[in-house]
Amino acid sequence: MPIVVDIDVMLARRKMSVGELADRVGITPANLAVLKNGRARAVRFATLAALCEVLACQPGDLLRWEAEGVAGG
C-alpha cells in the first residue's frame, strides 16, 4: 500500500509505549497495532486528530505517501 504509517517513529521520539498511546488516544492497543503496522484500511479523522494531539505532531508526521515499487522511502 502506498500510504506508510510512521507511528513508531513518533513513539520513539516521544519515548512513549504503544499501550500508553492507545490509552491516551482512547483506542485499544490491538486497533493501534493494526494502524501502526500498516494493516488498517482506513482511519477516522477523530482518531488521527487524537493521535496528533497526544504526540504533539502533524498528520504528515504520522502518514506519508510512497510510490508503489519504491523501497526504503
**Predicted TM-score (pTM) above 0.85:** yes
pLDDT over 60 at 53, yes or no: yes
Which whole number is the average pLDDT over 49-64? 97
Tell me if 7 sits within 8 A of 62, measured CB to CB. yes
Amino acid code (one letter) for 34: V
35: CB partners within 8 A, 6+ apart: 5, 7, 43, 47
For the chain, the C-alpha Rg in angstroms (whole number) is: 12
**pLDDT category, 16, cuts 50, 70, 90?**
very high
